[in-house]
Amino acid sequence: MIAKSKKMQSPGQRFTHSKAIEDTHRMGHGNSRQDCSSGDSADGSKPSRIRRLGRRLRLHSRRSSASHSQTTKILKEEDFAGIALIRIISAEMKFKDKWLACITLGEQAFRTHVSDQTDKPTWNSEKKLLLEKHGAHLARISVFETNRLSRNNLIGYCEVDLLEFLSQDCSSDTEVFDLLDPSSASTIVGRISISCCIEDPVETEKTFVRRILSIVDCNEDGELSLDEFSDLIDAFGNKLAAEKKEEIFKQADRNGDGVVSLDELATLLAIQNEKEPIINCCPVCGEVLEVSDGLNNMIHMTLCFDEGTGNQVMTGGFLTDKEASSGWMFKLSEWAHFSTFDIGLRSGSSASHILVYDRRKKRLVEEIIDRKIVLSMRAIYQSKFGLGLMDNGAKEILRSLSEKQGKKMDSAESAKEIPNFIEFFKDQINMDEVKYPLEQFKTFNEFFIRELKPGARPIAFVERDDIAVCAADCRLMAFNSVADSIRCWIKGRKFSIQGLLNEMCSREFVNGALVIFRLAPQDYHRFHFPVSGTIEKFLELPGCLYTVNPIAVNSKYCNVFTENKRVVSIISTEHFGKVAFVAIGATMVGSINFSKKEGDYVRKGDEFGYFSFGGSTVICVFEKDSIRIDEDLLENSGRSLETLVSVGMQLGVSVKKQDNVKLPNLRNLSL
């Protein structure tokens, strides 16, 4: 929560609203005077400048608006924390290069321009961001060297809690942050200067009015004539107001000099907003505005106007910093539809980049995966040709390959691969959490099944057995029913709870909730109990070793979860009834190992076992009407978006009715 307000130092500067980003972020905004003085229309009358501006801003860029536009969210007044202006000023690096910086907040990413060849890049690039008290407020600043064709190399990053930064009681809005090495958070690779201030509400209103006035003020005298004022009313999309232009103009012209000044226009909009708002649609993006929702309208239009003073403004329209930092080879492949960044099911070009939502940091991140592997998986799992290969012996090849790779990763020679593995996943493996030093791992598999330091994964509400927790460090999908999972995620034609659990399936599981924990190779590969209870039994089911990557799970040509090798266990609990815990092997997974046995009583968060080298998955099936899964997990899953979670994070709360058995009153008993 913000403890104080800071007045924005440069109110007349250039900003972009998130919903208009897709249509504007790569289009140069020409001088509005040129637009005003450009040629006449076909009938000899001068076209409306505001209409032409709107048409220009609404032109589609190379991305469709559907791929990057965020779901419109109505913000409540109690959740509004302010509109922040963040500026990335400069950095000090340890070597010379051409640098760019990116900022990521929530599901938005922005980038600066590329600096000159230097070890002290200067950008002075800024962006205006909406802050919510309970929304994303941990911004990540990433610095990339730009000497690569296809992608730029991440050198350092820092994370800034904007709400905390803004609440500091200091005389300066500027602060210097250490840039951390992605491979090791304890190593500093540079420093970066950032300023951030929150806009005063009064200044917001003045800035908004200046934007409006500047668009229709053709002669730039700071005042609106009746013709200019009429253009403005037309752009607001209010038909009733358009019929009463002269009447409204006279109301605005309080001193009767025949023109409307900045102050008079601000007064008019403030008064009309209280009585009968005259703004029905945004003049820039054309979005229809809710007349009764003054707060969200103010936020929308404040961020949407992009006719600024020409200062450096960060380029937007990106989902992650990796996308924002991509080189021209990636842009070419995206233009040719060979690859794309998108949220949702993995098919076609959208399978090239896997985006997940980081629950703790409340932002999108891209899962790191070798591009050659992506292409091979698309060829195998998303085509009839690939399905034919599976039917003609490829399943056995995968099994043989996994066995050979498992043996290789158990050899002493495999330890040489550990540094390369860490470097490849340098932004997604935190070595500071690992229990033992790197030199203690004698084989690659020893490192792969590494343990973490005590306390590295705190368990939510550890004393409450009616609260379930996440079973693994993973990408999670959660559904209230199998039908929801099939609609949003699992596209195999034969998926069912009966097929997944085999003879362990009971009637209560058939319509129960389903939670999928997908472990990628870079993850901590030990899995834990999501609930407290007693292990009733195990059932090992032989099968294939398909990959559990979303490219395969989203494919209609194979049935990953019901055909792969897996072990089903049943946990009997007090608060959730019976819970089915399914450990599923995958390509390169040599074995599934358990540290508990039948009859053991376990507590949630206890270690249950581990997977050897490769990606793998755990699925938990709950009895019908036994758990209320956390809303944020269900919401992301409904968007076909995996949520990045850690062991011990809250998963859901028991809603199963407890048996209330009354004890007899011993005083009333007689023999």
d(C-alpha 443, C-alpha 410), whole Å: 6
**Res. 241 pLDDT band, cuts 50 70 90:** confident
pLDDT at 442: 95
**Active-site position among 473, 484, 523, 630:** 473
pLDDT tens for each residue of 278-296: 777 776 667 777 766 667 7
612 pLDDT more than 90:
no
Which amino acid type is present at position 407? Answer: K
Respond yes or no: is residue 337 known to be catalytic.
Answer: no
The answer to whether residue 319 scores a pLDDT higher than 70 is yes
Band (79; pLDDT cuts 50, 70, 90): confident
Q: For the residues 158-174, what does the mean pLDDT come to?
A: 84
Specify the DSSP element, H or E, that contains 104. strand 97-105
Question: Does pLDDT of 17 surpass 60?
Answer: no
Residue 580 CA to its chain's centroid (Å): 30
Q: At what angle do helices 201-216 and 49-58 cross, to 10 degrees?
A: 110
Of 140, 118, 128, residue with least CA distance to 87: 128
Mean pLDDT of the 94-111 span: 94
Whether the per-residue pLDDT at 66 is higher than 50: the answer is: no
| CB atoms closer than 10 angstroms to residue 572 | 15
pLDDT of 445 higher than 50: yes
Determine how β-strand 642-645 pairs with β-strand 354-358.
Answer: parallel
pLDDT band of 539, cuts 50, 70, 90: very high
In this prediction, residue 399 carries a pLDDT of: 64
Residue 338 has pLDDT above 90, yes or no: no
**Are 205 and 295 in contact, with CB atoms under 8 Å apart?**
no
Predicted pLDDT at 59: 37
| Active-site annotation holds for 35 | no
Report pLDDT for 12.
32
Question: Which of 565, 596, 602 shows the shortest CA–CA distance to 583?
Answer: 565
pLDDT more than 70, % of the chain: 70
Say how far apart CA 31 and CA 29 lie, in whole Å.
7
Percent of the chain exceeding pLDDT 90 equals 39
- Please indicate whether residue 6 or residue 128 has the higher confidence score (pLDDT): 128
pTM: 0.78
473 is catalytic: yes
Please pick, among 402, 528, 555, 569, the residue that the annotation labels catalytic: 528
Residue 115 to residues 121, 196, 316, 324, Cα–Cα distance (Å): 6, 21, 18, 15
For residues 652-665, give the mean pLDDT: 67
Beta bridge partners of 358: 363, 644
On the question of pLDDT at 268 being above 90, the answer is no
Which one is catalytic: 616, 626, 646, 654? 616
How far apart, in whole angstroms, are the C-alpha atoms of residue 173 and residue 168?
9
Q: What is the pLDDT of residue 133?
A: 85
pLDDT tens digits, 358-416:
999 999 998 887 665 665 666 666 666 665 665 555 566 666 666 677 788 889 999 99
Q: What is the mean pLDDT of residues 562-577?
A: 94
Residues whose CB is less than 8 angstroms from the CB of residue 107 and which lie 6 or more positions away in sequence, other chains included: 70, 136, 319, 343, 357, 363, 364
The pLDDT of residue 563 is 85
